[in-house]
Chains A and B, each alone.
Chain A
């Protein structure tokens, strides 16, 4: 598998930095990898048919109505919350964090949501401010 996100850890780095820091880095990269895999699994599950990959689609009510039920629930919750992590969304929907993470990432790929990383947390939101 091609590894593009995190920088490879060199021998010098291992010697110069604390092991805890390196472990954290590994955990972070594993989480990112896990997220990507969840998205791939979800995409396979739903046969890719609801992924037009529009660059800047709007999350309006007619779009919400036409979505499959599992994605609508996530999209509606993010509309209400404004900006949230997969963990926060999962508390509202009573579904597993990993499931919400996959659906949120799918909505990002479809162009309905934007994703922003802050430290180790990933925040999702509908970009209402962009002009179009």
Chain B
């Protein structure tokens, strides 16, 4: 079943973009038709990570109602192994565009929500995409909440940091719950999660703390830091433990195990 997945977190720096890019890539590697969208309009980053600077139209233009969504989509399927399709829709990184989108009013945000919601029809139903992955800004702001409302499932990235834990718990109760969204938690940058007993302990702790299903636990990997965002990790390092963890997550999402 096709679906829209938003990747969100309370704090910045929890690994949303890393998770979004690699989750989209691994789903494409599994033969799916995937589109990854950058909805972090205040700090666009996908254009840099994916090294695309020739977008005909930006996602900003689509939300402004001045172009069709197909003009925004860029086909990067050649970068992924296998028969899957990998498209991206990018946020405009120009300072002027960031300023412009930050000054939008409620009416505009309402229309933007309408345009995001209509992607279900144009991309999932008409163009037969299997997954739309929405990378968002952290915290409670319009573009992120628009993405959450649009999504069928929210991947919530969190770290072990105290400030993050507290805010994430509040968001689960006061944001995703109110919109009746299914959520899966990803614990990122975790130490000591290799042994089975540690893993079980972690699962129990998370269940008690957040009361939502755990989608995955990602340990701290120096190799990811060393890569400096220069390549799509799951594509370039197919045997790395990180790739295996992401593959498990994709499997869970694909089999509706977490739904």
Q: Are A and B a genuine interacting pair, yes or no?
A: yes
Interface residues, chain A, with chain B CB atoms under 8 Å away:
58-65, 69, 72-73, 76, 79-80, 82, 126, 128-132
20 contacts between A and B (CB under 8 A): A58-B110, A59-B110, A60-B109, A60-B110, A61-B146, A61-B148, A61-B149, A62-B106, A62-B109, A62-B145, A65-B175, A79-B114, A79-B117, A82-B114, A82-B118, A126-B114, A128-B110, A128-B111, A130-B107, A132-B105
Contact flag A128-B114 (CB < 8 Å), given A61-B109, A69-B178: yes
Q: Would you call A64 and B149 a contact (CB within 8 A)?
A: yes
Q: How far is the CA of A61 from the CA of B148 in the complex (A)?
A: 10
Q: How far is the CA of A132 from the CA of B180 in the complex (A)?
A: 30
Pick the contact of A132 from B107, B118, B146, B175 — CB < 8 Å? Answer: B107
Q: How far is the CA of A60 from the CA of B114 in the complex (A)?
A: 10
The chain B residue with its CB closest to the CB of A57 is B106
Q: How far is the CA of A132 from the CA of B104 in the complex (A)?
A: 11
The chain A residue with its CB closest to the CB of B121 is A82
The chain A residue with its CB closest to the CB of B149 is A61
The chain B residue with its CB closest to the CB of A126 is B110
- 1/0 per residue, CB under 8 A from A, across B100-132: the answer is 000001110111011001100000000000000
Q: How far is the CB of B138 from chain A (nearest CB, A)?
A: 16
Pick the contact of B113 from A60, A72, A131, A132 — CB < 8 Å? Answer: A60
Q: How far is the CA of A65 from the CA of B177 in the complex (A)?
A: 10
Q: How far is the CA of A129 from the CA of B106 in the complex (A)?
A: 13
Q: Would you call A65 and B110 a contact (CB within 8 A)?
A: no
B47 within 8 A of A: no
Q: How far is the CA of A65 from the CA of B107 in the complex (A)?
A: 16
Interface residues of B in 139-181 (CB under 8 A from A): 142, 145-146, 148-149, 175, 178-180
Q: How far is the CA of A126 from the CA of B107 in the complex (A)?
A: 11
**Told that A61-B142, A82-B118 touch, could you supply 18 new A-B pairs with CB distance under 8 A?**
A58-B107, A58-B109, A58-B110, A60-B113, A60-B142, A61-B148, A61-B149, A63-B106, A65-B175, A65-B178, A76-B149, A76-B179, A79-B117, A79-B149, A82-B114, A126-B110, A131-B107, A132-B107
Instruction: Write out the residue numbers on chain A whose beta carbons fall within 8 Å of the beta carbon of B145.
Output: 61-62, 65
The chain B residue with its CB closest to the CB of A56 is B107
Q: How far is the CB of A33 from chain B (nearest CB, A)?
A: 32
Instruction: Write out the residue numbers on chain A whose beta carbons fall within 8 Å of the beta carbon of B179.
Output: 64, 72, 76
The chain B residue with its CB closest to the CB of A81 is B117
Q: How far is the CB of B105 from chain A (nearest CB, A)?
A: 8
Instruction: Write out the residue numbers on chain B whose beta carbons fall within 8 Å of the beta carbon of A76.
Output: 149, 179-180
- 1/0 per residue, CB under 8 A from A, across B201-228: the answer is 0000000000000000000000000000
Instruction: Write out the residue numbers on chain B whose beta carbons fall within 8 Å of the beta carbon of A59.
Output: 110
Instruction: Write out the residue numbers on chain A whose beta carbons fall within 8 Å of the beta carbon of B110.
Output: 58-60, 126, 128
The chain A residue with its CB closest to the CB of B174 is A65
Q: How far is the CB of B206 from chain A (nearest CB, A)?
A: 26
Interface residues of B in 24-48 (CB under 8 A from A): none
Q: How far is the CA of A79 from the CA of B113 in the complex (A)?
A: 8
Q: Would you call A61 and B113 a contact (CB within 8 A)?
A: yes
Instruction: Write out the residue numbers on chain B whose beta carbons fall within 8 Å of the beta carbon of A132.
Output: 105, 107
Q: How far is the CA of A129 from the CA of B180 in the complex (A)?
A: 27
